[in-house]
């Protein structure tokens, strides 16, 4: 599982999953916090579709954290002020990047995939509600 998808599921899914995995990492390994979770900004860059050029839409408040696991630095970044989640994400990032917990990775990935399924279910339910607002022009009759 690639980092982007892993982060997406951990950010959008139930935050207790990241908490559980991070707790398991903490239990087995010594964690050094390089940057405590703190608020900062990310500028959102957008490619507009008229001339295919780039512009800055605006900024988003985010929370980031940096930890060290062995020799590997892990980054945790999430929009909002969820400091605990930023820390947990940093820990998980470091664990996956370092391979320090290779034996556990398969189990964590399985739990992340399970969360992905729940997320997909929720998204599919939302999609059904939105899809009902799709206009069906074929039902319109032409008056002669």
Partner 1 sequence: MAYVAVRGGQEAIEASLSLLAWERVKSGACVEIKDIADTFPDLIDQVMGESSLYAPELAALALKQAQGSCEEAVFLLRAFRSTLERPYISRAVEADAMQCARRISAAFKDIPGGQILGATRDYSHRLIDFNLRRETSETVRELRKEMKHIWKEEWEEAGLGKEDDKQAMGKNTLEISESDDAEADAETEPLFSGERLGRLPKVADYLRSQGLLAQYDSDDTTPSDATMEPLVFPTPRSMRLQILARGMTQGVIALGYAGIRGFGLGHPTVAELRYGNIEIAIDHPLGAHENSAEKDSYQADKGSAYYVGAIPVTEVEGVFEIEVEKADGGKEFTFDLGYGMVMGHGETKAIAMSVLDFCLRSEDKRFPTQDEEFVLYHVDGIEATGFISHLKLPHYVTFQSKLSSVRKAKDLANEDKSHAREGEQDDKTV
User: Which residues are near partner 1 by CB under 8 A?
Assistant: 2-5, 7-8, 11-12, 14, 39-62, 75, 77-81, 93, 114, 117-118, 120-131, 133-135, 137
Give the residue with the Cβ less far from partner 1, 67 or 93: 93
Give the residue with the Cβ less far from partner 1, 23 or 111: 111
| 25 CB-near residues (< 8 Å, 6+ apart) | 31, 69, 91, 92, 94, 95, 101
Give the residue with the Cβ less far from partner 1, 33 or 41: 41
Smallest separation (angstroms) from partner 1 to the CB of 54: 5
Smallest separation (angstroms) from partner 1 to the CB of 110: 12
For the record, the structure tokens of 63 come out as 């929370």
Smallest separation (angstroms) from partner 1 to the CB of 103: 23
DSSP-derived 3-state class of residue 78: strand
Distance separating alpha carbons of residues 104 and 96, to the nearest angstrom: 10
Alpha-carbon torsion (111, 117, 123, 126), positive or negative: negative
Is 81 in contact with 63 (CB distance < 8 Å)? yes
Distance separating alpha carbons of residues 130 and 119, to the nearest angstrom: 17
Smallest separation (angstroms) from partner 1 to the CB of 61: 4
Give the residue with the Cβ less far from partner 1, 23 or 44: 44
């Amino acid at each position: 599982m690639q980092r982007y998808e892993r982060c997406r599921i951990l950010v959008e899914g139930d935050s207790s999953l990241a908490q559980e995995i991070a707790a398991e990492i903490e239990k087995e390994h010594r964690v050094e916090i390089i940057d405590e979770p703190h608020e900062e900004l990310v500028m959102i860059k957008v490619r507009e579709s008229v001339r295919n050029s780039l512009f800055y839409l605006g900024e988003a408040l985010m929370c980031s954290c940096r930890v060290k696991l062995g020799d590997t630095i892990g980054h945790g970044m999430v929009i909002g002020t969820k400091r605990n989640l930023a820390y947990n994400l940093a820990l998980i990032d470091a664990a996956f990047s370092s391979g320090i917990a290779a034996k556990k990775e398969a189990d964590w990935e399985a739990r992340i995939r399970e969360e992905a399924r729940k997320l997909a279910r929720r998204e599919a339910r939302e999609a059904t509600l939105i899809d009902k607002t799709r206009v069906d022009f074929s039902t319109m009759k032409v008056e002669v």
